[in-house]
Structure 1
Amino acid sequence: MLRAGVALADDVGIDGFTMRTLATELGVVPMALYKHVANKQELLDGMVDLVWSEVIEPRAERGWRRAMRERSVSLRDALERHRWAVGLMEAHGRPGPENLRQHNAMMGCLRKSGFSFRTTVHVTSTLDAYVYGFALQQKTLSFETPEESAEAAAATQRDIPPEAAMLYPHLLEVVSELARSGYDYDEEFVVGLDLILDGVDVLRSDWRQEPAD
């Protein structure tokens, strides 16, 4: 049932997802679903936990930076496959075992790598905010590929009046470049991620280190 729910949400989005539409998809009456879950929130919690199961678990023995990079890319990939989940990954609800396993692994990887508790919290919060924010931005934009973004930028470029081009030359430069090369989500994501990890690497020596448990 949970996998069917994930597949349905992938197709119709979270706004179109209801217990009734899932029951129709499964070929049962809506009340039959309540033999397995108490309510829609419990169903959504289970669906979100399935999304968490697709994320690579970070392990300290792989090196903290590589582990954090792999985990962040993996989480973003899961959110790209299941865009309805971006607002629910940390929403109030009952966390499932995959959710708990992932968060414990994230904290454990950093602590075992010599990060203090407070620094571990900083790094975890920053990385998650970046991944969720990027996924949310991608969800709201109207293009999917560099080619589509180039077409959109070219159309914008044609519509820019001369007086606007004089007032906003730097914005025009961005539009012109996008019209030529497009916007690649994958490339932009890893560039931003590496900037964050570079900053962590530089700053962590200045943060007080506490012995890892």
Structure 2
Amino acid sequence: MVTDQTETLRRVPLSRDRVLRAAVALADGTGIESLSMRNLAQELGVVPMALYKHVANKEELLDGMVDVVVGEIGPPVLGTDWKSAVRQRILSARQALLGHPWASRVIESRTTPTPVMLAYLDSLIGMFRTGGLSADLTHHVMHAMGSRVLGFTQEMFDDSPSDDPSQSVDPDAQAAMFREMATKYPYVTEMAMAAAHEDESIVGQGCDDQFEFEFALDLLLDGFERLQQQGWTSADRSRGDGGA
């Protein structure tokens, strides 16, 4: 049976799209660290040199894999206000990236955006512009959003509970550690304790990544809307009034 499947794979014509989607599936299954041209070729049932007809090198392969993920982002929602449309598009991007845990790291490693990435960014910027934000304000909006426009952000603290039994901490030892930390770093400790939500909390034990992402996204969008309504420009900085 395995031999028959391998032979079937060999008979399917190799294409750039097939190579990229196989690479994405391989990274999803075994991790981006294990991805190589050699094991990708083995997965496709071809010799490694056959891949180079479709991707010039590993960097081009990674660019193409990012394009596949970005291509999974849903299209813009029409007939709604700019803030709702932007929110929906960014949450769609987040959903796409959540399906590929390696994607955010690869996106951060890219030095030049591909046409697919540029088209997505152009679409998002267009939502702000057609929504009435000036080019000046939109420029600063994109800086403020950063990687959030692609559905991910770097967290300062990872307070999610560990599933690894070897990482479990004795409750008495943990309490002692918190007491010592509270003496040296009272506000960090206070925040860490607050993040360990009550059992009946909607968020539950540890922080809910999706909730935190949407919380920050909504704060940003509300702030952008306020600046738009105030007619803010970057020239306001020189006046020291912050647009107020």
Q: TM-score normalised by the shorter chain: which range applies?
A: 0.7 to 0.9
2:232 corresponds to which of 194, 197, 207: 207
Pick from 97, 100, 120: which aligns with 1:102? 120
Larger Rg: 2
Verify the 8 A CA contact 1:57 1:71 in the aligned structure 2. yes
Indicate yes or no: 2:185 matched with 1:168. yes
TM superposition score normalised by structure 1: 0.79
* C-alpha displacement of 1:131: 5.1
SS of 1:15's equivalent? helix
d(CA) in 2 for partners of 1:73 and 1:104? 17
Q: 1:21 to 1:147 in 2, by over 3 A?
A: closer
CA contact (8 A) 2:159 2:195 kept: no
TM-score, normalised via structure 2 length = 0.70
1:126 deviates by 2.2
1:76 is aligned to 2:94: yes
Cα pair 1:13 1:84 within 8 Å, conserved:
yes
1:58-114 alpha-carbon deviations (Å, 9 max, x no partner): 356321101111122122222222222213436224614x32331221122121111
Match of 2:175 among 124, 136, 158: 158
* Letter of the structure 1 residue corresponding to residue 49 of structure 2: M
Pair 168,142 (structure 1): closer, same or farther in 2 beyond 3 Å: closer
Tell me whether 108-117 or 163-172 shows the greater mean CA deviation. Answer: 163-172
Quote how far apart the aligned CAs of 1:169 are: 3.4
CA contact (8 A) 1:37 1:43 kept: yes
Q: CA deviation at 1:115?
A: 1.4
Task: Pick closer, same or farther for the CA change 1:94–1:39 going to 2, 3 Å.
Answer: farther
- Contact 2:90 / 2:151 at 8 angstroms: preserved in 1? no
CA RMSD of the aligned region, Å? Answer: 3.1
Q: CA deviation at 1:4?
A: 0.8
The answer to whether the 8 Å contact 1:60/1:113 transfers is no
1:153·1:178 contact (CA, 8 Å) conserved in 2? no
Native 8 Å contact 2:129 2:135 kept in 1: yes
* Alpha-carbon distance change, 136 to 19 in structure 1, aligned in 2, over 3 angstroms: farther
Q: Tell me what 2:12 maps to.
A: none
Q: Is the 8 A contact 1:63 1:113 kept in 2?
A: yes
Give 1:211's aligned residue.
none
Higher helix share: 1
Contact 1:153 1:176 in 2 (8 A): no
Distance 1:48 1:201 in 2: 31
Q: Deviation per CA, 1:40-71: give whole Å up to 9, x if none.
A: 22222211111111113335632110111112
1:185 offset after TM fit, Å? 0.6
- Compared CA separation, residues 190 and 39, structure 1 to 2 (3 A): same
- CA distance in structure 1 between the aligned counterparts of 2:127 and 2:181, rounded to whole angstroms: 50
Native 8 Å contact 1:57 1:105 kept in 2: no
* Percent identity of paired positions between Structure 1 and Structure 2: 42
Query: 5 Å matches for 1:1-213?
Result: 1-59=19-77, 61-89=79-107, 91-93=110-112, 95-96=114-115, 98-130=116-148, 134-137=152-155, 141=158, 143=160, 157-160=174-177, 162-179=179-196, 180=198, 181-205=205-229, 206-208=231-233
